[in-house]
Amino acid sequence: MTATRIGVRGADPYEVVVGAGVLGELPGLLGDRVRTVAVIGNAALPEITRPLCTVLEQAGYTVHPLPVPEGEAAKEVGVLAGLWSEFARLGVTRSDAVVGVGGGATTDLAGFAAASWLRGVRSVLVPTTLLGMVDAAVGGKTGINVPEGKNLVGAFHPPAGVLCDLSTLISMPHQDYISGLAEVIKAGFIADPAILDLVEDDPEGAAAPSGPHTRELVERAVRVKADVVSADLRESGLREILNYGHTLAHAIEKAEDYRFRHGHAVAIGMVYAAELGRLTGRLSADVVERHRSVLRSVGLPTSYPADAWPALRDAMRVDKKARGATLRFVVLDGLAEPGRLEGPDEELLAAAYREVAQ
């Protein structure tokens, strides 16, 4: 089966290549001007990193594997500083490139390392998780975490290309794959309801990386993100809709010291945002219930402990969508009709949380 190429437009256009067994596309994304490639890879995935390095070496590149910790542990200042030191030791120049291989945390880190080294070097991202393919690796947002919050330090740095090899999904732990489905379902609620239909018609198939709908779900979700970021790279307006469910989600992740799966937090956050929409008269109860039913059908959570609200509300004060002291939420005015809610009062925020509390 041939690869699908989805274009991301803008000042620095690039392609997202989707298919099974498509590692051979990587040299074409790097280009023939690059000589040295620093491969930043999840240390727990040598079975993926090794063949990728072999492909690059056979194409004539000088390859330097740089393993990093798994998951959010990669997105720490100390890890980033270590990469900078390695770049200096290896003599990485502006004509060289960085390849990030792994989940969303790894590609976030690799992208920011590329953005910050010599004020920006070429990068290609090879996400190996569903979450990475449909969210983190597409759109040029890079970042690391600090104790005060997630992704508060970062840069916009569009990659030279993104390579989504669907065969890497087969070995994913089940709950990690399910976590990625939250971002796919989010794309359905904000822009492409056909995604919701696919999941609802066959939840079991949607929840399996080898299922009959995997490629279509990935391609549809990538197209949604590509269309949005093509129109708004720097999150000045439209791009905010991609943060549907993320205000509460990021608060949950911080409260859990980033040990809670991102997609699971987003699932809860989407139900919370849907309840905000319902309580303000913008969204019907039927669409709110559809949030719960479609998320539950694939095994995603839709509630969180009631006594967590004070800590979550405090964590939401540090949110990238906030303007000064004013909180901003992405809400829906209807299916695939995203809007914004600015400065909701405290009782509304608490009332919406009571609807997701367990």
> How much of the chain is in helix, strand and coil states, percent to nearest 5?
50, 20, 30
Catalytic status, residue 246: yes
Fill in the amino acid letter for 58.
Answer: Q
Catalytic residue among 157, 225, 264, 278: 225
Catalytic status, residue 250: yes
Strands 97-102 and 36-42: parallel
Catalytic residue among 141, 213, 291, 321: 141
Catalytic residue among 157, 213, 239, 264: 239
Catalytic residue among 86, 216, 235, 256: 235
Binding residues for NAD(+): 70-75, 104-108, 128-129, 141, 150
Helix (H, G, I), strand (E, B) or coil at 203: helix
Catalytic status, residue 119: yes
Residue with tokens 């880190």: 109
Catalytic status, residue 321: no
Catalytic status, residue 235: yes
**Measured between alpha carbons, how far is 28 from 216 in angstroms, rounded to an integer?**
24
Catalytic status, residue 262: yes
Centroid of chain to Cα 14: 17
DSSP 32: S
Catalytic residue among 33, 47, 89, 119: 119
Residue with tokens 């498509």: 22
Catalytic residue among 220, 223, 250, 254: 250
Binding residues: 70-75, 104-108, 128-129, 141, 150, 183, 246, 262
- Dig out the tokens for 225 from the structure: 């993100």
Catalytic residue among 183, 219, 240, 275: 183
Q: Which long-range contacts (CB under 8 A, 24 or more apart) does 236-242 make?
A: 239/139, 240/321, 240/328, 240/330, 240/340, 241/190, 241/191, 241/330, 241/338, 242/135, 242/139, 242/186, 242/190
Stated as kind and residue range, the H or E segment containing 39 is strand 36-42
CB atoms within 10 A of CB 81: 11
Query: Of 128, 143, 4, which Cα lies nearest the Cα of 72?
Result: 143
Catalytic residue among 246, 290, 320, 321: 246
Catalytic residue among 220, 254, 262, 320: 262
Binding residues for Zn(2+): 183, 246, 262
- Dig out the tokens for 216 from the structure: 């279509």
Q: Which residues are catalytic?
A: 119, 141, 183, 225, 235, 239, 243, 246, 250, 262
